Amino acid sequence: MKPAQHQHLWGIDLGGTKIEGVVLESPTTPNVLARHRLPTGSQFGYAHVLGQIGQVMEKLGKEVGYRPSTVGMGTPGILDPATRLMKNCNSTCLNGKPLRHDLEEKLGMGFVLANDANCFALAETQMGIVRERFKGAKVVFGVIMGTGVGGGIVVNGAIINGLHGIGGEWGHNFLDASGGPCYCGKEGCVETVLSGPALEKYYHALTGQKKGLPEIYKAHQAGLDQNATVTINRLTYFFGKAISTVVNILDPDVIVVGGGVGNIEALYTEGIASLKDHVFNDYLEVKVVKPKLGDSAGVYGAAFLTVGNFPLSH
């Protein structure tokens, strides 16, 4: 029997290059009922992005036969809880804009916003690897390590957004001065050491050669490039050191590692060994695992934002 419409979960993933929308059947049976995507087109400006979101919503509405009252949306930045304006967006046309207000005015429905790392953590908790393998987990930390470094916290199935909207932003804690200046204005942030571009930059400084991280890792595995090994050792050592701070504060049951850097297998061996060395405990039981949902995590997590209460939903 088809569930009542109010049980359906609607989500939008607003990315730098694409906007994807989904309608899921229900929180307990999250089957995909409709899905649609369009280019973001942020180079054409803020009004264009709003229009693209509206088109995605219109397409989904036609597929399922109604318009929702509430939609969850993952964003490439943060809706500041105090100013209600977007900040820290890599799609810079969104920064300083009242995105939620403008969407609600334009489309006549409620929007619940969270950043993409929070949506990733929520999706892997509710639909992904945590639900599949660690059902009793109460505290989950979702890590994104790719072009940048971000994170999201889920406690008892709900995102911890935080007073300033920056809950989980471990990428801009200080890690090591060797990382150099960060775009945020500080130096030595986690992101300046552990992001993909930061590791590739480090390898280039050692060798004068430009290689992508997967290629560097292959060279390390082959045992033919000492500088590649130095680069990967840097990754695993500082990963453990950086994550140990999160473990010391949150003490999560599960850490899910997403993003391109998360594909480096050494994180799950040498990286965990480094975490064990740095954490404030004499043993380590937290599970550090790969995600299950791939690039679908963002839109699925956005849909789950509409389940229950959330600080930015009203």
CA distance 233 to 92: 34
pLDDT at 5 (0 to 100): 53
CA distance 203 to 256: 26
pLDDT at 6 (0 to 100): 58
Q: Could you give the angle at the alpha carbon of 71 between the alpha carbons of 67 and 72, nearest 5°?
A: 160
pLDDT at 295 (0 to 100): 86
| Residue 19, strand partner residues | 14, 38
Helices and strands (DSSP H and E) totals, the chain: 10, 12
pLDDT at 14 (0 to 100): 95
pLDDT at 142 (0 to 100): 97
pLDDT at 246 (0 to 100): 98
Q: Are 233 and 281 in contact (CB under 8 A)?
A: no
Domains, in order of start, for the chain: 5-120+296-304 (3.30.420.40), 135-292 (3.30.420.40)
CA distance 250 to 50: 36
Averaged pLDDT in 10-residue chunks for the chain of 314 residues: 64 93 94 96 94 97 95 94 92 94 96 95 96 96 94 95 93 97 94 97 98 97 97 98 98 97 97 98 97 93 81 34
CA distance 207 to 37: 41
Distances (CA, A) of 166 to 159, 172, 212, 266: 11, 10, 30, 29
Residue 26: is it exposed, middle or buried by C-beta count within 10 angstroms (0-12/13-18/19+)? middle
